[in-house]
């Protein structure tokens, strides 16, 4: 699969209304330790605290209306599930009666992450 600059620009335009524009920061102390300039793309400032919202949103918005009628499904232990939950909320996709099911290991962490998504409503 060849991804072109146009593909990237199209994806950006598709997801732009649904994501935060995040800063790129640098740190003099870390630069001094590394001996070069290091830049940090602060995706922790995204709605879900992770970059995965970009992929989840783009994948969701790329689906046809007919495919979206079947809902969305993902297998995730947290961040990707959140990345699918946001498009479900933002573009009103029906996901199995609006339920997102996560594994039970570390359940309190997952519930807390989904609670954060619920607060966006």
Tens of pLDDT, residue by residue over 87-110, are 766 666 555 444 555 555 555 555
Contact status, residue 57 vs residue 87, Cβ threshold 8 Å: yes
pLDDT of residue 69 exceeding 80, the answer is no
Q: Alpha-carbon distance 79 to 117, whole Å?
A: 11
Q: Alpha-carbon distance 101 to 75, whole Å?
A: 8
Q: Alpha-carbon distance 70 to 97, whole Å?
A: 11
Tens of pLDDT, residue by residue over 23-56, are 999 999 999 999 999 999 999 888 877 888 888 8
User: Exposed, middle or buried: residue 80 (CB in 10 Å: 0-12, 13-18, 19+)?
Assistant: middle
What is the mean predicted confidence (pLDDT) over 65-91?
72
Structure confidence at residue 88 (pLDDT): 66
Write out the catalytic residue numbers: 52, 77
Tens of pLDDT, residue by residue over 17-31, are 988 899 999 999 999
25: Cβ contacts below 8 Å, ≥ 6 apart:
39, 40, 42
User: Exposed, middle or buried: residue 86 (CB in 10 Å: 0-12, 13-18, 19+)?
Assistant: buried
Q: Alpha-carbon distance 102 to 111, whole Å?
A: 9
Structure confidence at residue 93 (pLDDT): 58
């Amino acid at each position: 699969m060849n991804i072109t600059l146009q593909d990237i620009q199209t994806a950006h335009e598709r997801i732009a209304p649904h994501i935060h524009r995040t800063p790129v920061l640098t740190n003099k102390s870390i630069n001094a330790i590394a001996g070069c300039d290091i830049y940090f793309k602060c995706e922790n400032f995204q709605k879900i605290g992770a970059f995965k919202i970009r992929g989840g949103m783009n994948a969701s918005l790329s689906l046809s209306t007919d495919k979206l009628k079947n809902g969305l499904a993902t297998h995730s232990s947290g961040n990707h599930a959140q990345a699918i939950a946001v498009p479900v909320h933002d573009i009103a996709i029906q996901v199995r009666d609006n339920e997102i099911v996560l594994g039970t290991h570390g359940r309190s962490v997952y519930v807390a992450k989904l609670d954060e998504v619920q607060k966006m409503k």
